[in-house]
Structure 1
Amino acid sequence: MAKPKLRNAPDLSACAVPGDAIQVKVTPKSAKDGIDLQNGAIRISVTAPPENGKANEAVRIILAAAMGVAPSTLTLKRGQASREKVFVYEP
């Protein structure tokens, strides 16, 4: 899988608090990868299809890039097969 390209990402470094839950709403199979803040909610669009965890991995990479942390420090805690996901930052 190619690395998702992300331009003009919002600065989410304030979310990089150890142990904090980060809720995101995901749109798989979109036209382009992107991240958007709407009324405090994080919405992530990925081009990856929602099969075999490809979309989840793409979301993890995009979220980590916006937060300025390594993707390996983000763990998907809830929403494996849902559009509503909860990641936890564990450095």
Structure 2
Amino acid sequence: MLPLKETRHGITFPVQVVPRASKCEITGLVNGLIKIRLTAPPVGGKANEECLRFLSKRLDIPGNRLSIVSGRTSRRKVIQVSRMGLDELAGLLKKIIPKTPMPDLFENGGKDEEP
């Protein structure tokens, strides 16, 4: 389930940023956070700028509609998207977040073993 929250200023969602990665990519939904790998270092706001630019490009929305409302100096951030409906943003995010496969928790595929 996507962690979206509607506020009076727009729709927010939490992300976890991994700076200094080999490439920019969204790796999935982990513990309620959209995990984003960025090539920029976390210095002088470069990772924040790259995060917003990357999301703007992937979501195909103007950059001036995206902002960081919490976590500017943290890896965990809250991104806000203005002038967009909840369902519309949910649809866009679902398209760009890769499906995270569930690990097989049982060696036998979850089937009861016969005695």
Gaps of 5+ in 2: 84-115
The equivalent residue for 1:5 is none
Which of structures 1 and 2 has the bigger CA Rg?
2
Give the one of 54, 78, 84 matched to 1:86.
78
Report the 3-state secondary structure (helix = DSSP H, G, I; strand = E; otherwise coil) of the residue aligned with 1:77: strand
**Equivalent residue pairs, number:** 76
Moved more, 28-37 or 73-82: 28-37
Q: Which amino acid aligns with 1:59?
A: C
TM-score normalized by the length of structure 2: 0.59
Task: Tell whether the 8 Å contact from 1:22 to 1:87 is kept in structure 2 after alignment.
Answer: yes
Task: Tell whether the 8 Å contact from 1:23 to 1:42 is kept in structure 2 after alignment.
Answer: yes
What is the aligned-residue identity percentage? 33
1:77 equivalent to 2:69? Answer: yes
Query: Which one has more relative contact order, counting CA pairs under 8 Å at least 6 apart?
Result: 1
CA RMSD of aligned residues (A): 1.9
The equivalent residue for 2:27 is 36
Deviation string, structure 1 residues 48-84 (Cα, Å, up to 9, x no partner): 0101110000000111222221111101100010000
Q: Which amino acid aligns with 1:63?
A: L
